[in-house]
Amino acid sequence: MWKARTKTDLIIEVWEKLDCESVGAVEIEAIGTVVADQYGELAVDSPMIVARLLADEGAELRHSEIMKIYLASTAERPYDAALRNIVKIDSLQSAAASIRNLENLRLKYAGTKDKEGLRLVREIALRGKQTAHENAGKKNTDPATQQVSAEIVKWLTVWLQTPEIFKNWLTLRQKSLDFVDKFGHMMSSEN
């Protein structure tokens, strides 16, 4: 139904389809619903970000409505700050740091018996694993990047299954001959 290829283009397309000159709570919520349908809940930007984008496109903003919806949305999403951009899988080093950060959050949420926090940490890890898996299978990607992505899939799989042993497992994995043969040169150049 939507022609946009990017989230930004989708936001503009939805606004144009709404055919309104001014933007307030109703329009921001409608845009958020479409973005969530297309890209998932975590892809929905803050009302302030959407409003700024639309203002740049010529929309007149109903500021008080946008501020109210912004305040309501931040109260409903207490995990956003901790989870935003927590998973980076562009290198082995960034993946290891990301998994350490996920583990720290997992321990925090487990300690407070926060089931929603634990669910979100797991969901984000699964999404990172899926992205790494897709990167490993891309035919037009160089073999080294495919190998790194496949390795990151292994790491996330182990962490998701048994997070308690991951740190020790990773230490052993990085000392293995297989790992050193494949990635030893990368690990020394990434430090």
Output the pLDDT for position 191. Answer: 44
Domain map (residue ranges) of the chain: 7-77, 81-190
Q: What is the pLDDT of residue 75?
A: 63
Distance from C-alpha of 37 to C-alpha of 158, rounded to nearest angstrom: 30
Give the H or E element holding residue 61: strand 60-61
The pLDDT of residue 155 is above 50: yes
Q: What is the pLDDT of residues 49-105, one digit of tens each?
A: 999 999 999 999 999 999 998 888 766 566 777 788 889 999 999 999 999 999 999
Q: What is the DSSP string of 62-93?
A: -HHHHHHHHHHHHHH-TTHHHHTT----SSHH
What is the predicted pLDDT for the residue at 60? 94
- The per-residue pLDDT of the chain, averaged, comes to 90
For the residues 146-154, what does the mean pLDDT come to? Answer: 96
Backbone angles phi, psi at 23, to 5 degrees: -125, 130
157-177: average pLDDT: 96
pLDDT band at 15 (very low <50, low <70, confident <90, very high): very high
Residue 44: which pLDDT band, with cuts at 50, 70 and 90? confident
Examine the pLDDT at 128 and tell me if it is beyond 50. Answer: yes
Percent of the chain exceeding pLDDT 70 equals: 94
Average pLDDT for residues 128-143, to the nearest whole number?
Answer: 92
Tokens of 59: 């929309």
Q: What is the C-alpha to C-alpha distance for residues 125 and 112, in angstroms, rounded to an integer?
A: 20
Check residue 88 and give its pLDDT. Answer: 94
Task: Give the pLDDT confidence score for residue 168 in this predicted structure.
Answer: 97
Model confidence at 11, pLDDT cuts 50, 70, 90, reads very high
pTM, two decimals, is 0.60
